[in-house]
Amino acid sequence: MKFLAKKYRVPFLILGLTMVLLIFNRPPALAGEAQSDDIVHIKSDEVIDDDLMAMGNKIIIDGVVKGDVMAVGQSLVVNGTVEGDVMAAVQAVTVNGEVTDDLRAGAMTILINGTVGDDVLVGGFSFESGPESSIGGDLFMGGFQALVDGELAGDINAGLGGLKISGLVGGNVDVDVDAAGSGPSPVDFMGGIPNVPPMPRVPLGLTVDDDASIAGNVIYRSPAEARVDQTAIAGNVNFVKREVETSGQPGFGFGSWLWDQIQRLLRLLLVGALAIWLVPLYISEAGQKLQEKLWPSLGWGALTPIIFFVMLLGLGLVSILVGFPVLVFGTFFFSYLLALFYLGAIVVGQWLGRLILQRTSPNQAENLWWSVMVGLVGVWLLTMIPILGTIVGFFIALFGVGGLWLVGQDRIKGVGTATVTA
């Protein structure tokens, strides 16, 4: 656990445990109203007296939600009022209205123009709080950049490439940032990417504007000292030099770890989407095999490394006798690793997602897209736990590969087991 700074463990574990509880224990947020569509729109004259679980490409809340909101999709826009927490796994989050309690989100971009009554705990590429925004608690963030304007009542705890403070901060600032640099920013190249919302360009390192105000102390860790105007800071400024690793092993901070985890989730979702596109029936059948033959799937999955090794020896023998290009060995080895670490997770994700949706949104339980996407988020959370996550990930891979093996056996016998709902 040395790689995760103590001060960041509690808030992030709270986020992770909250999401796990949301998925597996069916708290009130999942026992309330569930809506799924291409566009989920809570109109301005609409009041939901319960919690809301929304799944869709676009989720727009113009009305009032009396409870919590859990959103999964491409974008979430809150123009109205949410009287509880907002928990989102989307590409973009925008709060123009009011969130009475906490905002917890994993997204590429997070923009707050309105009010968040308590803490903001987010992971993503870019965070921005506008000049008219108000955050009543602390900001915890891991990602690439953040622009903090408006009013923030509490502390800032973050690991980022760049942080710019232009507004009022009522507490302390404690961050890990990169050294200030020149040249183009990744933001400059994102304008042409479809569905990527506009985002500010924040320079690397720590920047405190002249008109900013920080009521507490500032401590920042970076490879190089930043130019910070101390007249904007009521407390002390403490710079801790962070050595740049040269051994090939990257340095670690909360932000870099969290960003790595977000990238891992994005890779899982991307490969999952490709699998749904290329081999949907195979993924659906393998997930059904897990449901029908869970423990036999684990048994066959445990045998696959042995079978793979024997086949590799066979290929080696053939190469000695008749000659075999090295590329074939590389392709064979890469294919097995892809099946073990990605397809296995996708199969288990499809099975897990279907179980989750059967409890939360039964009309979407047989939808392959939703079951895979929801399940992969669950797999990601389970494998995020230090040490235990590695063990869980290994068994997930064995279960999934075993399911694929059983489907392969059925295909050889000419037996099909499942149909796909798009």
**How far apart are the C-alpha atoms of 245 and 98, rounded to whole Å?**
43
Residues 6+ apart with CB under 8 A from 267: none
pLDDT value for 226: 85
SS3 labels along the chain: CCCCCHHHHHHHHHHHHHHHHHHHCCCHHHHCEEEECCEEEECCCCEECCCEEEEEEEEEECCEECCCEEEEEEEEEECCEECCCEEEECCEEEECCEECCCEEEECCEEEECCEECCCEEEEEEEEEECCCCEECCCEEEEEEEEEECCEECCCEEEECCEEEECCEECCCEEEECCCCCCCCCHHHHCCCCCCCCCCCCCCCEEEECCCCEECCCEEEEECCCCCCCHHHECCCEEEEECCCCCCCCCCCCHHHHHHHHHHHHHHHHHHHHHHHHHCHHHHHHHHHHHHHCHHHHHHHHHHHHHHHHHHHHHHHHHHHHHCCCHHHHHHHHHHHHHHHHHHHHHHHHHHHHHHHHHHHCHHHCCEHHHHHHHHHHHHHHHCCCCCHHHHHHHHHHHHHHHHHHHHHHHHHHCCCCCCCEC
pLDDT value for 283: 83
Give every residue of the chain whose pLDDT is below 50, as ranges: 1-31, 246-252, 326-327, 419, 422
**How far apart are the C-alpha atoms of 401 and 292, rounded to whole Å?**
15
pLDDT value for 258: 66
Helix (H, G, I), strand (E, B) or coil at 144: strand
pLDDT value for 415: 60
